[in-house]
Structure 1
Amino acid sequence: MDLELTQADSDFRDEVRAFLRDNLTDDLAQAGRLTTSVFIEPQFSLPWQRILHARGWAAPGWPVEYGGTGWSEMQRYIFASECARAGAPSLSPMGLSMVGPCIIGHGTPEQKAHYLPRILSGEDYWCQGYSEPNAGSDLASLGLKAVADGDDYILNGTKIWTTHAQWASRMFCLVRTRFDGKPQVGITFLLLDMNLPGITVEPIITLAGEHEVNQVFFDDVRVPQAGRLGDENNGWTVAKYLLEFERGGGSSAGLEVNVARIRALAEENGLLARDSGFARDLAATEVALEAIKITEQRVSSALSSGSNPGPAASMLKVQRTEMMQRIDTLGIELGGTYAGVEQIEARQPGTNVDPVGPSNLLTLMPRYLNNRAGSIYGGSNEVQRNIMAKLVLGL
């Protein structure tokens, strides 16, 4: 596969760089550089999304008729790479990369007309209601109960590890509408308003000391059935479709930037010359990252042709998350003593708190801690390997 830039792609890269130079403000770039997760607070991501939306660049992967860019696979990769290199804040994937494509694939014309423009503009900020205290990797065992009552469902139960529920105005949620038969047959996919009476959000503080995830409680919450995506009791099909986008979407651009940053820091302090083992591990990581880029091209090709990524999405999810953790481990080795210093205040955008040690080491440990969840969320990597064994190897 030829990954060299054509003249048209080179011109497009220059266009993106010029746009970033003219529109990415210093405070947004600082917030992007200091982020320690795949998510960043909406006070930084939403202003950047609005800037991109005004240019028509908020959803490069969407079909043109719904607000997408019509870019080629290479153009999408160039855009992601240049944004990552410039330190642009990442956009929340919940709306643009997950429920948006799901609404495009399974929504009614009315749902598409209502939700898609609001996702693009950032007017609706979404969270994902999948996992429960007793339903994590075994998602089919979920028990959030939804009982039909007139034109509504009445919800009782809880969701957990709900990222950015404290900020979200909307949730896409899996509920149980049938309790007999096969567990998967009885799950319904709902789009709901987070401001409905009876919804309570309780924070969960991560190992990195950050409030990113939550537990959400539902106490007789009345949700209109008009928010159902797909048929009742067929939510498992919709959920699997969405998970393929969660697992296969995105690119390795951020990983490339992080591994390049590790190399630059290691060269700066002479670690590569002093430690041949670290130099070998870093080189092997860079080679493995090139292989991931090829897998991404395959998945992007499937998506751009209207196909589902299928088991390749599971392969890519495993490769990316384990590569992310591999890079994080190299960062901890590089940071040495400074990597272990907890400095929550010093790494806040706009802070006046001076860091202990070099400022470019501030995010190494929180990145490492936050990204341990990468091999669990979106379906644990053990589950992804089972999927690949069944659908690819026929085991």
Structure 2
Amino acid sequence: MKQFFAFIKKEFLHVIRDSKTLLMLFGLPIVQIALFGFALSNEVKEVNLVVCNLSNETKATELIQKFDASGNFKVVQVIHDPNALDQWFKNGNIKMCLVIPAQFEKNAVRERKIDVQLIADSSDPNLATTLVNYGNQIVFDFQMKWFGQSTLPGINPEVHMMYNPSLKGTTNFVPGVISLIMMLICVLMTSVSIVKEKELGTMEVLLVSPFHPFFIIIAKAIPYFVLSLFNLSIIVFLSINLLDMPMEGSILLLFAESGLLILVCLSLGLLISNTTNSQQAAMLISLLGMLIPTLIFTGFLFPIENMPKPLQIISNIMPSKWYYIIVKDIMIKGLGIKYFWKETLILMGMAIFLLALSLKKFKIRL
């Protein structure tokens, strides 16, 4: 029995002295509970709201202030031209707008009900529905306070859903799933390419060849790039024809932007392959390192606006976040590159940086 306890003590010491095991044992749960605790929330806070105020009356101003003070909305601009609303939605600066008609106060007093219009970007139908419900409740509370509890005022906001009036869930999840699939497959495929050569012992043959390391890395990436484009073709075809995903924009532009994401993912996979010594380690890093961050920080499961500022900043390093925005703009809104050139430049910068880092980390001596 004494030997048994001595063996248990030895195992405890073995675990405690292994920093990697302790990190997996205690660090991973802490990170997961922190990430999911802050990210998993159905509550929406401080969503950008534009108000089109066609009335200069006092009650209209009070309603705007009530929206701004609710905590769910943040009034970023008050405009007076309804034709300018379309541009705000196309630029992706807002998720909903409030339209207050002319003679708002006069009509409300006469008819004992408030007529306003709520216009939401329903490319994310769950978020749009939540925002409209918040807006309806704010209008209802404002109306009850105005006319008193003794009356039963009718709430009559006119709701308009842009881009996805039928509130199909595919418009939100299909672009997100495309981002997730491309991130996982492309990174996973290339993450084992170079480390596999090391394990098989064929890396020496490549290193003694007259080719520059840059060409070795590019040669590794090109087949996977072509196969990834073919894989993307299948995914887009099934999304449009099987899942009834709209395709309002240019499919050539979609493939060009997708090729940029594939280049980023392949470069990241090559970097992982250059810095690991076994295929198991490379696959583990690729799957765990890509799956959870992509699910959380892309934006198709949990609105990034709900997250604390530090997590919103972290989300900016995820290529899938920018690609998700681009895909929705092309497929759902039918927009051109002038509306998402910033996201395109960010993906280009990531591709150049990761490819250069992969080349620098490539070891010419074993």
TM-score by length of 2: 0.24
Structure having the larger proportion of residues in helix: 2
Q: Which has the higher contact order (CA 8 A, sep 6+)?
A: 2
Higher Cα radius of gyration: 2
